[in-house]
Structure 1
Amino acid sequence: MASEKPRILQNNRDMVWSLVPLVLFCVIIAGIASQCTFSPGGPTSGPIPSFDVDAALTYDARELGFPIRHPDVPEGWTPNSGSRAFVGGGDSSTVGFITPPGRYVQLTQSDADETPLVTFIAGEPRTATGSEDIGGRTWVLYGGEGVEPIWTSDFTQTRIAVTGSGSDEEFRELAAAVGAAEPLDS
């Protein structure tokens, strides 16, 4: 007598019963390793990462060849990220903030021209959809259906861009704060 079932008798039910112990074993291992959690109410917000925006912008002001501003953001805005990148013929300094309602607002300062800067941030070319005057400075708005807006302004040697999931009011607050900030010492 053969100890195995003939191939013709192996069906989906047999396959399911073979996988059940394997799946249970994987769940147990993941639970032991604390790599998964059960959250019946859905995801919850975790802690905001700590980021030293003062040190980052001071360092970028010394290292990059264009004026960097450190805006005095509204109370409750928490800096959470920063980076530097090469942008179409220039450098850029980016810092991000989480606003009290939990939205992300990003500030990018660069010596690249406006079009390459917008393309770098958006990941594709964009067309201007309007403008806004904030503190006597014109901000060009790049928006569209289903995309995060990008606001840019030319500060002579520096192009400033504001983007993210923030509201128009939060964009205005950051744009005003950047406009009021003096360049850091290099």
Structure 2
Amino acid sequence: MASKKPRILEDNKDMVWSLVPLVLFCIIIAGIASQCTFSPGGPTQGPIPSVDIDAALNYDAKELGFPIRKPEVPEGWTPNSGSRKVITGDGGGDSSTVGFITTNGSYIQLTQSNAEEFPLVSYVAGGQRFATGVEDIDGHTWNVFGGEGVESIWVTDVDGVRLLITGAAPAEDFTTLARNAGQAEPIVP
């Protein structure tokens, strides 16, 4: 005959006492691997990565076959990213992108490209966006693309180069970057 379980193992306490060592073991392993932290005050802002925007745009101005501009940005905006991509397909081309964290902590990016407007918008948006209006800023007409629950995209042509702005920043920051990018002179390599 099988022996009877001890009384401590005859109710829900059995499951709890079985899980306690397992949970403690998982916490110890996660702590050793530095995969979790305890922050009773909630998440904190980490350092913003920075990019040498001058070097990135100067390099792109030398390598790409179209004029690249370096817009002045307000004090407190931190350049935090940069990339250069090839947009493939009909109407594609090269692109140079720089991103900024604004003073209020929002992200905004400027892409300069020799690609046509719709392939560029589709590439940056990762899909289809719909025209939702226009913004006239200092003599440049910016076509606005958007939709419900997506970031806006503003696009204009300046001397045959497409300038595209997108990000989670408010419209005032889009206007500031659009004005400064439209007024910036091309970098002379």
In the TM superposition, residue 122 of structure 1 has moved relative to its aligned partner by 1.0
State the secondary structure of the residue aligned to 2:86. Answer: strand
Deviations 1:15-54 (A, max 9, x none): 6544432221121122233331112332221110021111
The aligned counterpart of 1:60 is 60
Distance in 2 (alpha carbons) for counterparts of 1:118 and 1:79: 22
Structure 2 length-normalised TM:
0.88
In the TM superposition, residue 78 of structure 1 has moved relative to its aligned partner by 0.4
Distance in 2 (alpha carbons) for counterparts of 1:28 and 1:166: 40
- Residue range with higher mean Cα deviation, 123-132 or 15-24: 15-24
In the TM superposition, residue 13 of structure 1 has moved relative to its aligned partner by 6.4
Extract structure 1 runs of 4+ deviating beyond 6 A: 9-13
In the TM superposition, residue 144 of structure 1 has moved relative to its aligned partner by 1.7
Matched ranges for 1:13-162 at <5 A: 17-88=17-88, 89-162=92-165
Distance in 1 (alpha carbons) for counterparts of 2:10 and 2:159: 74
In the TM superposition, residue 140 of structure 1 has moved relative to its aligned partner by 0.6
Aligned partner of 2:183: which letter? A
% identity of equivalent residues: 68
Matched, 1:177 2:180: yes
Aligned partner of 2:26: which letter? C
- Residue range with higher mean Cα deviation, 66-75 or 82-91: 82-91
For residues 85 and 11 of structure 1, do their structure 2 counterparts lie closer, same or farther at Cα, with a shift above 3 Å needed? farther
How many aligned residue pairs are there?
183
What runs of 5+ residues in structure 2 fail to find an aligned partner? none
Distance in 1 (alpha carbons) for counterparts of 2:10 and 2:162: 67
CA RMSD of aligned residues (A): 2.2
State the secondary structure of the residue aligned to 1:41. Answer: coil
